[in-house]
Chain A
């Protein structure tokens, strides 16, 4: 009888890492459908600024959200063109707008550290833990939680003339 505990690929994970406001973030590659350069999008009325618009991804309509705003970071300067990281969760397909792609890397599953107390300027609830890379910290994001923006949208619609 084989057991599940021996070393197998499941104890490692592939991570898609990207840059946001000089921080390095990672999401599990299983959620990532594809990564592509900036594309003009169609704004969606009545949505908060974090919804940047709708993209045509080979005929599929994909909503893009600005991950900086989602994580409570300052807006990107206008001369920076973001990159799309398309993720697929149970709710559907979303594109995370990030500053730049960092790397795709394979890391051990259990080497996750707690988030340093000194980390400020982002919404900590989205970070599940971090990896210490050679010269920087890779913050792992809870992709499903980050992608769940239905409450934000509902609040934006229901708030009387919030904008």
Chain B
């Protein structure tokens, strides 16, 4: 029976202990995160005594508990930190950068020890003697140092009040109101109540009294101060320090007197915060989520059966179940949601530390910290966000003097925003720093041979800025150490995309940079496109979906080409590599061609690679519950998981990033081929032509890339401005070019479209083009088609002619318009860029 006894006795004790320790660790972890924030906030506003009290309480609790479990290092660290804090509270010290750094280091040390306890079960090998010494030294020297007063007088008023009253000012303190008045009028401007609430009284009190004080209000506190402590505290700092630390050391008997109110206060605070909420194991929530997923499936099945059932009762019960299940699913999903503020909590500290390190001044503004995100996603975006914040401070925001010379405010601003939009979470990180210079990016990209000078010249600013997401770009800048935004941005992008998110960047030189991230709300249930290939259905997460194409039998032969025996499709001038899902999954075996005669292409975006997945059928979109696959299947890169369909069968979820790796061609190869094969006079983007006709039947075409939109304008919308025809378009006045007139093409020349065709129909078709930010509408008779111009073009040799040349498009001779010349010939001047602002 002995072993049984042991089990019950020490075993349970052990278990209980472990339980306590676990609880202690969990609680401390949360508290430490809060500490980081509190310290940074406190540095900004040293007179925030509530915050100081809360910090003190946390450290004190850790110290007490570490004594209970005999964690010596932890106890020593917490003790030193607490000691230093007590000086801050009684006003004999004021928080400055040095102190904050030391205290933050202490927090880090405590965190380290706690992590070790959590992982290894002991405090680890870390040596914190130096840190302890530093903390103690700061506490004692500052308390002795006569220069403290001087030093502190550089700072805000309350510290001065505190240090002055720490000197033997007992006569005045016997009349607290007067003291306050005197101090308040001379030293505190604007905030007399604040000052009276804490610094003065705290300087004369032990923490115990302070708590009594804050609880019972200022008057009572002040009377406390008068009646008990002044004589004691008007001594110099040193004895006070010893006195304090003695009282606060748990093993000391004096604890009995000192601790209880403090403890009580801590308990009160913790019950306040936990009221109405309980801790739940994440594993349990995941199981709940799984069960709800099953319920959703059972519901789906029942709905299918119920649909065929004439029984009214069954139908109504099914509907009821449907409603409840949907609601339950939403609620359970919500339990996994956490405010994004949980991970933002670390940022003030990071920003502070980095700013100090870089010698910059940065304000962090955070909006929307209550925005909720699934816990697993929150974890996944933590590192990318941290990286972006580091980048913003390191490279984005300038030093104070630099900012001054640009006439900007001395302090840089980093703005973090989060909000829900359309079932997604948006996160924006913007700074008002120097911005990204596209020219610098271009030079660097060219020098790293990522792009050629010719390609660089053709790229827009936005395209250039986006280059920082290119892997090659990042590594290049890492190696050379050139200060730029590229370091690791590709990793950030990959991480965001791996959770089905997207990232975008906008930057203006001298104004700042904004990075916008979109992530899904949750990963457990995702919208997916269901496709079929062979006899099986597959789900593709919709975040990767760009578009879907269906090629009919006739066109299929012409447009699917092959580059180095890899199939490609020319989509709007760009080569789109194709993956035949059935071929891929049959291991390269020949697959019977589907008989419907057409080809379904699902265009997917993975990382920097865009490709087309050829599938048999596109079925529908559906919310699917993502389930993990057996670990052994993780070697198959093309599969991301599985889900259960409404009929109870399993369908595999495709991993779009994994599929992309099956593309036989590299991005560079594709780009080279894209330009090579279409290198006939017109650049690659221009191989697709918008074909239209004039009233005379003349066929004309212009590159599709130059077309903004196709519009129908009612004839009544045509107005005159400065003797040219215009229409109102998106709050702008847009000139209307009458193509037939410019080309002198009309068989019966007339003055005005609006008159000539009035009787035919009431609207005119127009092609809206844009150049240099200006819009113009080209009125045509009929839009015919969008077609490829494959053959060579016969050039006309008249510079300035509105017609660039002629080509055979779809078997007919077609004139190709030179849009710039046409605009000039129509008497318009678009050479000056429209100011966007």
* Chain B CB within 8 A of A58 CB: yes
CB contact list, A119-163 vs B, under 8 A: 148-150, 153-154, 157, 161-163
When the two chains form the complex, which single residue of A58, A91, A161 contacts B588, counting CB atoms closer than 8 Å? A161
CA distance A161 to B585 in the complex (A): 11
CA distance A55 to B651 in the complex (A): 10
Query: Which range holds the interface residue count of chain B?
Result: 20 to 34
CB distance from B81 to the nearest CB of A (A): 43
User: Which stretch in B392-400, B423-431, B595-603, B627-635 binds the other chain?
Assistant: B627-635
User: Which stretch in A23-31, A40-48, A74-82, A104-112 binds the other chain?
Assistant: A40-48
Does B652 contact A150, Cβ atoms closer than 8 Å? no
* Chain B CB within 8 A of A2 CB: yes
Does A60 contact B2, Cβ atoms closer than 8 Å? no
CA distance A94 to B651 in the complex (A): 17
Does B636 contact A46, Cβ atoms closer than 8 Å? yes
User: Which stretch in B290-298, B491-499, B665-673 binds the other chain?
Assistant: B290-298
When the two chains form the complex, which single residue of B586, B636, B642 contacts A47, counting CB atoms closer than 8 Å? B636
Chain A 91-120 against B: per-residue CB contact (8 Å), 1 yes, 0 no?
111100000000000000000000000000
Please name the residue on chain A nearest to B533 by beta carbon.
A45
Residues on A with C-beta less than 8 A from B293 are 59
CA distance A160 to B648 in the complex (A): 34
CA distance A59 to B2 in the complex (A): 45
Does A60 contact B627, Cβ atoms closer than 8 Å? yes
Does A56 contact B2, Cβ atoms closer than 8 Å? no
When the two chains form the complex, which single residue of A59, A61, A148, A157 contacts B635, counting CB atoms closer than 8 Å? A157
CB contact list, B287-327 vs A, under 8 A: 290-291, 293-294, 297
When the two chains form the complex, which single residue of B2, B536, B587, B642 contacts A61, counting CB atoms closer than 8 Å? B642
Does B631 contact A91, Cβ atoms closer than 8 Å? yes
CA distance A153 to B637 in the complex (A): 12
CB contact list, B268-300 vs A, under 8 A: 290-291, 293-294, 297
Q: With contacts A92-B631, A163-B587 known, is A56 near B649, CB below 8 A?
A: yes
Chain B 169-189 against A: per-residue CB contact (8 Å), 1 yes, 0 no?
000000000000000000000
CB distance from A1 to the nearest CB of B (A): 5
Does B636 contact A58, Cβ atoms closer than 8 Å? no
* Chain A CB within 8 A of B644 CB: yes
* Chain B CB within 8 A of A32 CB: no
Does A63 contact B633, Cβ atoms closer than 8 Å? yes
Chain B 549-591 against A: per-residue CB contact (8 Å), 1 yes, 0 no?
0000000000000000000000000000000000011111100
Does B2 contact A42, Cβ atoms closer than 8 Å? no
Residues on B with C-beta less than 8 A from A94 are 630
CA distance A157 to B632 in the complex (A): 11
Does B650 contact A46, Cβ atoms closer than 8 Å? no
When the two chains form the complex, which single residue of A1, A54, A150, A154 contacts B642, counting CB atoms closer than 8 Å? A54
Does A91 contact B290, Cβ atoms closer than 8 Å? no
Query: Which range holds the interface residue count of chain A?
Result: 20 to 34
Residues on A with C-beta less than 8 A from B651 are 42
CA distance A157 to B584 in the complex (A): 12
Residues on A with C-beta less than 8 A from B291 are 59
CB distance from A156 to the nearest CB of B (A): 8
CB distance from B481 to the nearest CB of A (A): 38
Please name the residue on chain A nearest to B585 by beta carbon.
A45
Residues on A with C-beta less than 8 A from B632 are 63, 91-92, 148-150, 153
Does A2 contact B3, Cβ atoms closer than 8 Å? yes
CA distance A123 to B629 in the complex (A): 27
Does B290 contact A59, Cβ atoms closer than 8 Å? yes
Does B648 contact A45, Cβ atoms closer than 8 Å? no
Chain B 1-30 against A: per-residue CB contact (8 Å), 1 yes, 0 no?
111000000000000000000000000000
CB distance from B39 to the nearest CB of A (A): 43
* Chain A CB within 8 A of B639 CB: yes
Does B631 contact A150, Cβ atoms closer than 8 Å? yes
CA distance A2 to B635 in the complex (A): 49
The dominant DSSP class at the B interface is: mixed
Does B635 contact A150, Cβ atoms closer than 8 Å? yes
CA distance A157 to B636 in the complex (A): 7
Does A42 contact B627, Cβ atoms closer than 8 Å? no
CB distance from A68 to the nearest CB of B (A): 18
Please name the residue on chain A nearest to B636 by beta carbon.
A46
Does A45 contact B294, Cβ atoms closer than 8 Å? no
Among A61, A91, A93, A150, residue most surrounded by chain B Cβ atoms (within 10 Å): A61
* Chain A CB within 8 A of B518 CB: no
Does B650 contact A61, Cβ atoms closer than 8 Å? yes
Residues on B with C-beta less than 8 A from A157 are 635-636
CB distance from B286 to the nearest CB of A (A): 13
Q: With contacts A44-B633, A44-B636, A157-B635 known, is A54 near B585, CB below 8 A?
A: no
Please name the residue on chain B nearest to A51 by beta carbon.
B633
Residues on A with C-beta less than 8 A from B2 are 1-2
Residues on B with C-beta less than 8 A from A56 are 644, 648-650
CB distance from B457 to the nearest CB of A (A): 42
* Chain A CB within 8 A of B788 CB: no
Q: With contacts A56-B650, A154-B635 known, is A63 near B629, CB below 8 A?
A: yes
Residues on A with C-beta less than 8 A from B638 are 45-46
CB distance from A159 to the nearest CB of B (A): 10
CB distance from B288 to the nearest CB of A (A): 12
Residues on B with C-beta less than 8 A from A54 are 629, 642, 650, 652
CB distance from A127 to the nearest CB of B (A): 22
CB distance from A83 to the nearest CB of B (A): 19
CB distance from A42 to the nearest CB of B (A): 4
CA distance A2 to B1 in the complex (A): 7
Residues on A with C-beta less than 8 A from B631 are 91-92, 150
Chain A 1-19 against B: per-residue CB contact (8 Å), 1 yes, 0 no?
1100000000000000000
CB distance from B124 to the nearest CB of A (A): 28
Please name the residue on chain B nearest to A64 by beta carbon.
B630
Does A153 contact B635, Cβ atoms closer than 8 Å? yes
CA distance A154 to B633 in the complex (A): 9
Q: With contacts A2-B3, A63-B629 known, is A43 near B636, CB below 8 A?
A: no
CA distance A60 to B648 in the complex (A): 11
Does B650 contact A55, Cβ atoms closer than 8 Å? yes
Does A61 contact B3, Cβ atoms closer than 8 Å? no
Residues on A with C-beta less than 8 A from B588 are 161, 163
CB distance from A48 to the nearest CB of B (A): 10
When the two chains form the complex, which single residue of B1, B297, B536, B589 contacts A59, counting CB atoms closer than 8 Å? B297
Please name the residue on chain A nearest to B581 by beta carbon.
A45
Residues on B with C-beta less than 8 A from A150 are 631-632, 635
What are 17 A-to-B residue pairs whose CB atoms are below 8 Å?
A: A41-B650, A45-B584, A45-B652, A46-B636, A47-B633, A54-B629, A59-B290, A59-B294, A61-B629, A61-B642, A63-B629, A63-B630, A92-B631, A92-B632, A150-B631, A150-B632, A153-B636
Closest 6 CB pairs of A and B: A59-B294, A45-B585, A163-B587, A42-B650, A150-B632, A63-B630
* Additional A-B contact list (17), CB under 8 Å, known A2-B3, A61-B630: A2-B1, A42-B650, A45-B638, A45-B639, A45-B652, A47-B636, A53-B650, A54-B629, A54-B652, A56-B650, A59-B293, A59-B297, A63-B629, A91-B630, A149-B632, A154-B635, A162-B587
